[in-house]
């Protein structure tokens, strides 16, 4: 069988947004059905946000009466940047709109087609009015003819990309203007001028979403956070793409020495699973596997973070399975050091929990001492235990199912799904 999967892993983020245009033409009085969050608070963590409002929550629908948010596929973290073609932006768009993907689903395409017809009719009328005005204008100053006013299409593009600078002395002013504009249009109930909301959707590691994480990691120090995020961006350019067909990387993947467990209860982050006994055994046979282990770790970390329900706060947990490892004789902490040196500067504030199991109570202090290279903030998220109940509580796993499977490793293998897509047959 021919394998058509991409052998190169490019990473799961980009600063290029997708577009989502929502028209209320089919129901001018409808509610979008989301909770908006204000980003007009004068805070340094807002400096890379494209607009002054985003979708902060999408409540569960009544299945018998789906909202426009459901119809158009609105997601948490979508940024509202224009209302009826008038921009409410913090800075100009970085990409021409025609180069970006429009995410409107098939069910909403008819509304957008009707909306385009209304806009085109209005533009044609404006062009006719402008032509008539020019015909009635007499002038002897030929220099005036050197100026060519922008076309209606160009004027519309400029208006949609309009930047409104925040009022530092009155935070919230632009956000209030945006809400007022929405209310005014809805109150008119004009079928020829329905409410149209323009959103941009960014991936989890774009600057739009990641800046606040890097700023938090550097405790609000803007210069240090900028240095950190620029270093991360250079790292991404150098580290990706990853050749998934590399034999030594495939060895790690096929052994499931590093893999994923995305089966936790709601509210728990997906887990990057590390079978430490397998890693140590493989490292003993091939001391050059360290980069392959790091690459496998990055592949699964990126994959799980990209699935986070909120791209503004992506989270994963990590489970280091120490089953079969003699902690007194052969705990090779260098493997964890290499993973940490990749994770800490590039994925700040994305770790929910790091669970190490099983670690006898008598050895917890020893393991803690071995992990002294980890910063204090991250170590607070570590759970070192020999109690399977604690593991399940922290990671949202099913204790009874693990016991029925015969242990954590069997439980993980039972639920292997997405991770198999990175395994290439010989």
**Phi, psi (deg, nearest 5) at residue 4:** -100, 5
Q: What six digits make up the tokens of 84?
A: 């009826």
HEC string of 274-302 equals EEHHHHHHHHHHCCCCHHHHHHHHHHHHH
Q: Residue 346 — pLDDT band, cuts 50, 70, 90? A: very high
In whole angstroms, what is the distance from residue 380 CA to residue 361 CA? 18
- The reported pLDDT for the residue numbered 264 is 64
- The reported pLDDT for the residue numbered 289 is 83
In whole angstroms, what is the distance from residue 120 CA to residue 204 CA? 35
Q: Quote the radius of gyration of the chain (alpha carbons, Å).
A: 27
In whole angstroms, what is the distance from residue 122 CA to residue 29 CA? 22
Q: Do residues 348 and 216 make contact, with C-beta atoms less than 8 angstroms apart?
A: yes
In whole angstroms, what is the distance from residue 207 CA to residue 214 CA? 10
- The reported pLDDT for the residue numbered 27 is 86
In whole angstroms, what is the distance from residue 327 CA to residue 300 CA? 26
pLDDT at residue 118 tops 50: no
pTM to 2 decimal places: 0.87
- The reported pLDDT for the residue numbered 28 is 87
Q: Residue 329 — pLDDT band, cuts 50, 70, 90? A: low
- The reported pLDDT for the residue numbered 62 is 62
Averaged pLDDT, 61-77: 83
In whole angstroms, what is the distance from residue 383 CA to residue 354 CA? 6
- The reported pLDDT for the residue numbered 2 is 42
% of the chain beyond a pLDDT of 90: 66
Highest mean pLDDT among 79-83, 394-398, 401-405: 79-83
- The reported pLDDT for the residue numbered 3 is 47
Q: What is the DSSP letter of 163?
A: B
**Phi, psi (deg, nearest 5) at residue 419:** -60, -25
Q: How far apart are the first and last CA of the chain?
A: 11
The Cβ of residue 2 has, within 10 Å, a number of other Cβ atoms equal to 3
What is the per-residue pLDDT across 268-306, written as a single tens digit (0 to 9) for each? 899 999 999 999 888 777 767 889 999 999 999 999 999
% of the chain beyond a pLDDT of 70: 86
- The reported pLDDT for the residue numbered 109 is 52
Q: What six digits make up the tokens of 23?
A: 């028209």
- The reported pLDDT for the residue numbered 111 is 54
- The reported pLDDT for the residue numbered 102 is 94
pLDDT at residue 135 tops 60: no
Provide the CA 156 distance to its chain's centre, in angstroms.
30
Q: What six digits make up the tokens of 77?
A: 């973290």
| Residue with more model confidence, 62 or 253 | 253
Q: What six digits make up the tokens of 246?
A: 């590399």
In whole angstroms, what is the distance from residue 8 CA to residue 51 CA? 34
Mean pLDDT, the chain, whole residue set: 87
| Secondary structure class of 219 (helix, strand, coil) | coil
In whole angstroms, what is the distance from residue 341 CA to residue 298 CA? 12
Highest mean pLDDT among 221-230, 282-291, 319-328, 406-415: 221-230
| Residue with more model confidence, 421 or 27 | 27
**What distances in angstroms separate CA 421 from CA 204, 269, 279, 304, 306, one per listed residue?**
21, 20, 21, 13, 15
- The reported pLDDT for the residue numbered 281 is 87
pLDDT at residue 110 tops 70: no
The 10 Å CB-count burial string (b at 16+, else e) for 238-252 is eebebebebeebbbb
For residue 187, how many C-alpha atoms fall within 13 Å in the half-sphere facing its CB? 6
| Secondary structure class of 380 (helix, strand, coil) | coil
| Residue with more model confidence, 26 or 125 | 26
């Amino acid at each position: 069988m021919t394998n058509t999967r991409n052998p190169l892993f490019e990473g799961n983020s980009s600063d290029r947004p997708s577009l989502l245009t929502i028209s209320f033409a089919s129901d001018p009085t409808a509610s979008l059905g989301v909770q908006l969050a204000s980003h007009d608070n004068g805070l340094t963590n807002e400096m890379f946000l494209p607009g002054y409002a985003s979708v902060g929550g999408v409540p569960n629908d009544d299945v018998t009466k789906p909202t426009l948010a459901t119809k158009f596929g609105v997601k948490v973290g979508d940024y509202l940047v224009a209302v009826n073609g008038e921009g409410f932006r913090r800075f100009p768009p970085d990409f021409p709109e025609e180069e970006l993907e429009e995410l409107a689903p098939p069910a909403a395409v008819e509304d957008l087609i009707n909306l385009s017809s209304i806009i085109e009719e209005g533009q044609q009328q404006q062009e006719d009015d402008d032509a008539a005005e020019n015909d009635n204008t007499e002038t002897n100053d030929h220099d005036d003819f050197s100026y060519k006013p922008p076309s209606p299409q160009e004027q519309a593009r400029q208006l949609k990309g309009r930047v409104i600078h925040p009022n530092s002395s009155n935070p919230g002013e632009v956000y209030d203007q945006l809400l007022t504009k929405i209310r005014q249009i809805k109150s008119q109930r004009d079928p020829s001028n329905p409410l149209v909301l323009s959103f941009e959707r960014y991936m989890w590691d774009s600057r739009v979403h990641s800046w606040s994480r890097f700023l938090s990691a550097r405790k609000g120090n803007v210069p240090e956070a900028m240095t950190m995020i620029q270093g991360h961006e250079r790292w991404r350019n150098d580290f990706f793409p990853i050749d998934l067909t590399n034999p030594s990387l495939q060895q790690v993947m096929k052994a499931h020495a590093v893999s994923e467990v995305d089966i936790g209860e709601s509210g728990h982050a997906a887990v990057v699973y590390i079978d430490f006994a397998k890693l140590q055994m493989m490292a003993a046979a091939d001391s050059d596997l360290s980069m392959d282990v790091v690459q496998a770790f990055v592949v699964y970390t990126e994959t799980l973070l990209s699935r986070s329900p909120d791209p503004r706060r992506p989270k994963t947990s990590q489970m280091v399975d120490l089953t079969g490892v003699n902690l007194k004789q052969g705990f090779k902490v260098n493997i964890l050091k290499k993973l940490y040196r990749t994770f800490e500067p590039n994925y700040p504030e994305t770790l929910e929990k790091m669970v190490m199991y099983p670690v006898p109570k008598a050895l917890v202090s020893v393991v803690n001492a071995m992990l002294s290279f980890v910063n204090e903030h991250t170590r607070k998220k570590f759970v070192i235990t020999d109690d399977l109940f604690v593991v399940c509580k922290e990671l949202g796993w099913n204790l009874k199912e693990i016991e029925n499977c015969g242990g954590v490793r069997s439980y993980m293998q039972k639920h292997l799904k997405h991770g198999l897509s990175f395994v290439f047959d010989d």
